[in-house]
Structure 1
């Protein structure tokens, strides 16, 4: 399986967030699974590329990265479990 391009990852991320709608969130692993399939060997390696695209799209104001329900202050520097949503 070829690795999806950054463009494909970004498009999938934006589509899933839009489909989920306002005030709802998407787990980054959902984006990775949509691209890499259900097996961890397929989606696991996509987690870092998904995070990179999430950071880029957050800086562009197109999505929000949430930690504990709140937008992260610095998209370049956050840790732990996070969710993705439409910007508020």
Structure 2
């Protein structure tokens, strides 16, 4: 049986990839896009998913699926502070 944290991690990774699949190959998404896609409430509860989304993006970057950018340039996911964007690995 999969634990709830692992299920959330998988949903967040899937949301990132699905959002990117729906965009142009060079397009980026904001982590908040994935948080909102996974959160089902009407309030701002999606904000609690922001760090888990960033962690999911780091895992996908380590797997060679995506890259994390700041200012339009790829950055080391472990050193990125502040606003980031996520895009398919080029």
Task: Give the TM-score normalised by structure 1.
Answer: 0.87
Q: Quick one: higher RCO (CA 8 Å, sep 6+), 1 or 2?
A: 1
Aligned length: 85
Contact 1:21 1:86 in 2 (8 A): no
- Aligned equivalents of 1:51 and 1:25: distance in 2? 14
Residue 77 of structure 1: CA displacement? 1.4
Superposition misfits of 4+ residues, deviation over 4 angstroms:
none
Gaps of 5+ in 2: none
Unpaired segments ≥5 residues, structure 1: none
Partner of residue 43, structure 2: 39
Q: Distance in 2 between matches of 1:6 and 1:19?
A: 20
Deviation track 1:44-85 (CA, whole Å, cap 9, x = no partner) reads 10001000000010011101111000111x211111111111
User: Where is the strand percentage greater, Structure 1 or Structure 2?
Assistant: 2
